[in-house]
Amino acid sequence: MAGVRRKVKSSVELPQLVRQTSRIAFVVATVGCFGLPSQALALQQEGGAEVEKVEQGERHIVVTATKRDQTLEEVPIAVTVVGQEELISKGIEDITNLERAAPSYAVSTSDSATGGLVLRLRGVGTTGNNIGLESSVGAFIDGFYLPRPGAALSDLYDVQQIELLKGPQGTLFGRNTSAGAMVIKTNPPRTDIVEGFVNATIGNYDLYGVQAGFNVPLVQDKIGLRIAGAYRNRGGYITNVVGDESQTRDRISIRGQLLFDLEDAGELRLLAGYNRGKDDCCMAIWTQRSPFIEANSAPFSAFAPTAGAPNVGADAVDPYLANDNTNFVNPFHGWSIAAHYDVSLPFGELSYLGYYGDSFADSCRGDYTALNVYAVGDCPEIRALNPGIDLDPLNGTSIKSTSHELRLQGESFDGALDWIIGAYYSHEKIDQKYTFFS
């Protein structure tokens, strides 16, 4: 592993100017002036910043941690970069195992496919995974902010590189980046070459998956088309004695892109994506022991997967055996469209980024035992007790988000001053409702 360490003597702390919350839409304009390249941004640590280069050889790595293209050695920010070759060589196909290449990164998931994803950098992140909580690590893909990444980031395919920016990034990245930011760049379309790829994966627990994509110029050197997709299926590793396996995964996603080279009029990139899946997750096994349970082991052990187990819901022999009356399911689907336009002006570079995303997830939750005390969501027992009633409108989580960003940046005084000015608008609506049975 090659490493580059750079010390910065001075630092400039800039206030966080962009912030928003769910269900609120507004426009914020930010203006930041940056002096010499050796100056540090607000996200630097006292005593200098550390730049980390992860197994990329001797070639120059270009990052956009400061909203402009710079080599990794020039960026006064603590950044970990994971390239496409490393993602493939280490079998990193979703963000849950990205920590194989970035030890300071961690992710935790819950039983929600849409909002139950928590990203952490350097151990700092949101303490809970409730969908109403805002993230401390912002997630960006191709420059677009994902307020509730969830299933949208579950699979990493046709990715050029991932940048992990450590420390507060609010000055340039805005909302929910107090602990850092994850910047994912997919491979853009090319207008000059025909190419494609196929990656296949097999593993234990009946895991199999495939990633494929192709690029073709529709008009040579003018218009390029790129389409890529991924499919993954995995069996469960927890057996429910009164149902099916748990912790299964069945997901598919596809992304299409068009690139228009408009010559002097700039460059336009259009993106569209769709993903869907059905996870049987996340059945937990209750292994809590207490003096009361041990003193009354006979009645409590009756609820264990096999007779004689000392704990409610836990098996004495097989730790991957559960006894739950309800299988936990998570069907979901989502789609998004986006546009990115860049044009060079006499006094700077003008960029526009527009994004709209729509996702829906359903679920069924039990009480983790065979007692069937309660169930939440679109569960068979709830439907059985309510024949003739359409429960679909009464269950599920819907997330709709819209964002627009306009940015102008350039240099003055023969490169001695870098400047950037922009406006950002965002609106997000979360609608969550479930049927409760007891």
CATH number of the domain where residue 14 is located: 2.170.130.10
Would strands 238-240 and 321-322 be described as parallel, antiparallel, or unpaired? parallel
Which of 264, 175, 252 has its CA nearest to residue 211? 252
Say yes or no: 246 and 392 in one domain.
yes
More confident residue, 122 or 61: 122
Say yes or no: 295 and 426 in one domain.
yes
Contact (Cβ atoms closer than 8 angstroms) between residue 105 and residue 80: yes
More confident residue, 34 or 202: 202
Say yes or no: 266 and 168 in one domain.
no
For residue 296, being part of any structural domain is answered with yes
Would strands 62-63 and 70-71 be described as parallel, antiparallel, or unpaired? antiparallel
| pLDDT confidence of residue 28 | 38
pLDDT, tens digit, for every residue of 78-119?
888 999 889 888 888 888 888 889 888 888 776 555 556 788
Say yes or no: 150 and 67 in one domain.
yes
Q: How far is CA 315 from the centre of its chain?
A: 35
Say yes or no: 90 and 68 in one domain.
yes
Say yes or no: 233 and 328 in one domain.
yes
For residue 27, being part of any structural domain is answered with no
Q: How far is CA 370 from the centre of its chain?
A: 34
For residue 158, being part of any structural domain is answered with yes
Q: Which pair of tokens denotes residue 363?
A: 């679920």
For residue 32, being part of any structural domain is answered with no
Q: Structure pTM?
A: 0.77
Radius of gyration of the chain (CA): 24
Would strands 180-186 and 137-141 be described as parallel, antiparallel, or unpaired? parallel
Say yes or no: 182 and 236 in one domain.
no
For residue 25, being part of any structural domain is answered with no
| Phi, psi dihedrals of residue 326, rounded to the nearest 5° | -125, 135
The band of 227, judged by pLDDT with boundaries at 50, 70 and 90, is very high
| pLDDT confidence of residue 51 | 41
For residue 29, being part of any structural domain is answered with no
Residue 56 reports pLDDT greater than 90: no
Residue 366 reports pLDDT greater than 70: no
| pLDDT confidence of residue 370 | 58
For residue 416, being part of any structural domain is answered with yes
pLDDT, tens digit, for every residue of 324-333?
666 677 788 9
Bridge partners for 404 per DSSP: 354, 425
Over residues 219-244, the mean pLDDT reads: 87
* Distance from C-alpha of 135 to C-alpha of 169, rounded to nearest angstrom: 13
Question: Of the candidates 186, 214, 245, which is a domain's last residue?
Answer: 186
Over residues 225-238, the mean pLDDT reads: 92
pLDDT, tens digit, for every residue of 143-182?
999 887 765 666 889 999 999 999 888 888 888 888 899 9
CATH number of the domain where residue 427 is located: 2.40.170.20
| pLDDT confidence of residue 9 | 36
| pLDDT confidence of residue 319 | 66
Kindly give the residue spans of alpha helices, DSSP state H, lying in 141-198. 170-173
For residue 26, being part of any structural domain is answered with no
Q: 349 in the Ramachandran plot: left (φ > 0), alpha (ψ -120 to 50) or beta?
A: beta
Residue 134 reports pLDDT greater than 60: yes
Say yes or no: 291 and 388 in one domain.
yes
pLDDT, tens digit, for every residue of 257-271?
999 999 999 999 999
More confident residue, 395 or 340: 340
Q: Which pair of tokens denotes residue 305?
A: 């997967």
**Tally of domains in the chain:** 2
Say yes or no: 104 and 213 in one domain.
no
Domain, as residue range, for 350: 195-437
The band of 410, judged by pLDDT with boundaries at 50, 70 and 90, is very high
* Distance from C-alpha of 353 to C-alpha of 142, rounded to nearest angstrom: 10
Say yes or no: 166 and 257 in one domain.
no
* Least confident segment among 115-129, 222-236, 391-405: 115-129
* Distance from C-alpha of 174 to C-alpha of 55, rounded to nearest angstrom: 30
